[in-house]
Structure 1
Amino acid sequence: MTQQIYGKSFGGTPAENYERFFVPSIGGPVADDLIGVAGLQPGERVLDVACGTGVVTRRAAERVGAGGTVAGLDVNAGMLSVARSQTPPDVSIEWYETSAESMPFPDEAFDVVLCQMGLQFIPDKQAALREMRRVLVTGGRVFVTVPGPKPPLFAIMKEALASHIDPKAAAFADLVFSMHDVDELTELMRDAGFLEVDVQARPKTLRLPAPADFLWQYIHSTPVAQAVAQAGQAKRDALEREVCEQWQEFTVDGFMSLRVGMTTATARKIDM
């Protein structure tokens, strides 16, 4: 089904829109940073946890080459369907629809585990981190990124969603940026049994489309889309007016600039 809002068409599922809109503006640039930090080597075995539509997974496959193996894991069947469709025919990636808290892999199956902007959505974070450690070889590396704190641009959108659409839908923005604290993430990693834990918070500047474009692209890439679709055109009009008016302060030459914190945890599995 295609929804028409202010002359803009958004066809397909949130997962398809996520790949089409979110990945180019946010997911891809952040993935490049994560892959750079991970320092993947040819021949390594890599697992991408909460892989979504597979932007990190595909970049990992490029780095480890034909001699390596790469798997992507996600609980969302729609995301995995898009991930499969986006995988080049000459790239071999195994996709698994399952929770991060109970992975279908033997012990010590991977050299590296990656998790980009997904840990905050996992209900039992400690169980997921313990599973990441279990499937790593001794000496294996884990790299986890989470965004936050909530930048002003998203705070504006959250308040407008709560006012014009639904407070429950607006709460999604809180969840997205709910896990950025360096000390909290450090403690979680150590409690899961990882050693050589290093957690760093650094700002990332992203170039986003114009206000109205980004508003609807983001909404239609997330679970918020259903609530917005059901709200009625008058409420959607009010949402757009309020958000776009306040987003003008972030706009230069037709594009918006988003400065967001990215917290990255790196650690190793070391048996004592």
Structure 2
Amino acid sequence: MSDADKVFAGSIPGIYDTYFVPLIFSDFADDIARRVAALSPSALLETAAGTGAVTRAMAAALPHHFRYVATDLNEPMLAIAAQRQAGDPRISWRQADASALPFDDAEFDVVCCQFGAMFFPDRVKAYAEARRVLKPNGTFVFNVWDRIEENVFAHEVTMALGKLFPDDPPRFMARTPHGYHDKAVIKADLEGAGFRDISIETRPALSRAPTAEQVAFAYCQGTPLRSEIEARDASKFQAATDAVAEVIRTRHGSGPVEAKIQALVITARP
């Protein structure tokens, strides 16, 4: 993972929340919320909350009286999340590094994280922090994307950009969001952090959008792929987005489009 892979700034957070969240995150956010709600936590911590896809789903799924702290290292993303959920007294927002959480030991019943672990520079350290702030019988629930070949739009976007920039293909999607999918590695990282009761479930879903153009716009302009394309040739930025849209339109049609996405959902207890 390069340092640029973690930069969600400028116009990216807004586009990400408006287009990318409904495209690939909402279904899995509802899934995480259902799993956490079944645990009936009185104190919940979310790390790498991004623009608040899980936070919104969780607020709808959990009762009125509980403590919910949502954190993210990236302040522009967290600012959108907080704005979207303004006025909910149950939720507090805090900029925080998942690898150095500013909370006491055994403070939370549940720690959850949606599609953030792939971005952690030291996953064992971040998992150890989640374990530290959990109560002795607490639960850590998180998900990561499966291999890119199981996520059709992400794979097609990556292949299309590879043809446009054959000498230096933008590989953000394969390298980082879809770069942490080996179940044995995930299990070993969690065990290294002190977790023992670990389950990993493969969960497929469908990604849907009204047009191929919207898929291309979401991926190319609402993620750090934007920075990768601009670094190669800023003059080709719109052409790259158009080329991706053409590939998706050719494969999925000119109207509403849909394709398989797949993630791993992990539950771990000390």
Question: Is this a same-fold pair by TM over 0.5?
Answer: yes
Alpha-carbon contact 1:194-1:268 (below 8 Å) kept: yes
Task: Output aligned runs, 1:217-236, within 5 Å.
Answer: 217-229=218-230, 231-234=233-236, 236=238
Distance 1:56 1:152 in 2: 23
Alpha-carbon contact 1:211-1:244 (below 8 Å) kept: yes
Query: Match for 1:19 among 17, 21, 24?
Result: 17
Kindly indicate whether residue 159 of structure 2 is the aligned counterpart of residue 159 of structure 1. Answer: yes
Q: CA distance change for structure 1 residues 105 and 235 in 2, over 3 Å: closer, same or farther?
A: closer
Query: Match for 1:113 among 102, 111, 114?
Result: 111
Q: Which residue of 1 aligns with 2:32?
A: 34
Q: CA distance change for structure 1 residues 227 and 196 in 2, over 3 Å: closer, same or farther?
A: closer
Q: CA distance change for structure 1 residues 179 and 187 in 2, over 3 Å: closer, same or farther?
A: same
Q: Secondary structure, in 3 states, of the residue corresponding to 1:226?
A: helix
Alpha-carbon contact 1:113-1:142 (below 8 Å) kept: yes
Q: Identity of counterpart residues, as a percentage? A: 27
Distance 2:61 2:252 in 1: 35
Q: Which residue of 1 aligns with 2:3?
A: none
Distance 2:52 2:89 in 1: 12
Kindly indicate whether residue 184 of structure 2 is the aligned counterpart of residue 186 of structure 1. Answer: no
Q: Structure 2 stretches of 5 or more lacking a match? A: 1-9
Distance 2:181 2:228 in 1: 27
Distance 1:74 1:107 in 2: 19
Distance 1:89 1:162 in 2: 44
Q: Which residue of 2 aligns with 1:136?
A: 134
- Measured after TM superposition, the shift of residue 89 of structure 1 is 1.2
Q: CA distance change for structure 1 residues 41 and 191 in 2, over 3 Å: closer, same or farther?
A: closer
Q: Which residue of 2 aligns with 1:5?
A: none
Q: Secondary structure, in 3 states, of the residue corresponding to 1:184?
A: helix
- Measured after TM superposition, the shift of residue 49 of structure 1 is 0.9
Distance 2:85 2:166 in 1: 36
Kindly indicate whether residue 175 of structure 2 is the aligned counterpart of residue 177 of structure 1. Answer: no
- Measured after TM superposition, the shift of residue 253 of structure 1 is 6.5
Q: Summarize deviations over 1:16-61 as a string: whole Å, max 9, x none.
A: 1111111122221110111122334556211111110112123223
Of stretches 30-39 and 106-115 in structure 1, the one that deviates more from structure 2 is 30-39
- Measured after TM superposition, the shift of residue 248 of structure 1 is 3.3
Q: Summarize deviations over 1:205-234 as a string: whole Å, max 9, x none.
A: 221232122111222211222344563445
Alpha-carbon contact 1:60-1:70 (below 8 Å) kept: no
Please give the TM-score of this superposition, normalised by the length of structure 1: 0.85
Q: Which residue of 2 aligns with 1:89?
A: 87
Please give the TM-score of this superposition, normalised by the length of structure 2: 0.86
Alpha-carbon contact 1:207-1:258 (below 8 Å) kept: yes
Of stretches 136-145 and 224-233 in structure 1, the one that deviates more from structure 2 is 224-233
Q: Secondary structure, in 3 states, of the residue corresponding to 2:170?
A: helix
- Measured after TM superposition, the shift of residue 173 of structure 1 is 0.7
Q: Which residue of 2 aligns with 1:6?
A: none
Q: Which residue of 2 aligns with 1:261?
A: 262
Q: Which residue of 2 aligns with 1:244?
A: 245
Q: Which residue of 1 aligns with 2:7?
A: none
Distance 2:230 2:114 in 1: 28
Q: Which residue of 2 aligns with 1:9?
A: none
Distance 1:121 1:172 in 2: 11
**Residue identity opposite 1:85 in structure 2:** Q
- Measured after TM superposition, the shift of residue 258 of structure 1 is 2.1
- Measured after TM superposition, the shift of residue 99 of structure 1 is 1.1
Distance 1:241 1:22 in 2: 17
